[in-house]
């Protein structure tokens, strides 16, 4: 080993080409994180419209989802897709999210639990899309 070396040696400087690329790579990573975060938040909104994408039963009572506070601050919008098992009497038995931002799914499910469908001879699967749009 070299007697002149010490434990506090400074690292070798990066070549100029690497230093030029280092900043854009950091910037690129920051942009990717911002886009990902924005995509999650853009699925939120202040008002919601419901559309029956499938199913045969008429909705008798629709409750509009509460717009999540984080989504409100970000002015985000998006769509949540749900599959709802509706009992013969017209009440939701189970609700499964099949698409949409996790930030909006809870608000959509809470609203759907309050919906009422027309009675039917047996339980059915209803497909619902809730579109969230900022006011």
Q: What is the pLDDT of residues 69-99, one digit of tens each?
A: 888 888 878 999 999 999 999 999 999 999 9
Q: Which residue has the higher pLDDT, 131 or 4?
A: 131
Rounded-to-integer distance, Cα 80 and Cα 110, Å: 12
Task: Give the three-class secondary structure for 88.
Answer: coil
pLDDT digits (tens, 9 = 90+) for 5-27: 555 667 666 666 555 555 565 66
Rounded-to-integer distance, Cα 27 and Cα 54, Å: 44
How much is the pTM? Answer: 0.59
Range list of β-strands (E), 1-135: 47-54, 59-61, 78-86, 92-99, 116-117, 124-133
DSSP letter string, 2-26: -TT--TTPPPPPPPHHHHHHHHHHH
According to the model, what pLDDT value does residue 27 have?
Answer: 60
Rounded-to-integer distance, Cα 133 and Cα 31, Å: 24
According to the model, what pLDDT value does residue 42 have?
Answer: 42
pLDDT digits (tens, 9 = 90+) for 32-50: 555 444 444 444 333 344 4
Looking at the domain that runs over 47-133, which CATH code has it been given? 3.30.2420.10
According to the model, what pLDDT value does residue 77 have?
Answer: 86
């Amino acid at each position: 080993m070299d007697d002149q070396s010490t434990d506090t040696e400074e690292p070798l400087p990066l070549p100029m080409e690497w230093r030029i690329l280092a900043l854009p790579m950091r910037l690129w990573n920051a942009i990717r994180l911002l886009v990902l975060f924005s995509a999650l938040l853009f699925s939120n909104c202040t008002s919601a419209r419901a559309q029956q994408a499938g199913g045969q039963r008429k909705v008798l009572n629709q409750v509009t989802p509460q717009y999540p506070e984080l989504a409100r601050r970000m002015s985000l919008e998006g769509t949540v897709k749900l599959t709802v098992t509706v009992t013969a009497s017209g009440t939701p038995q189970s609700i499964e999210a099949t698409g949409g931002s996790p930030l909006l799914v809870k608000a959509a499910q809470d609203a759907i639990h309050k919906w009422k469908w027309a009675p039917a001879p047996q339980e059915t699967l209803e497909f619902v899309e809730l579109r969230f749009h900022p006011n």
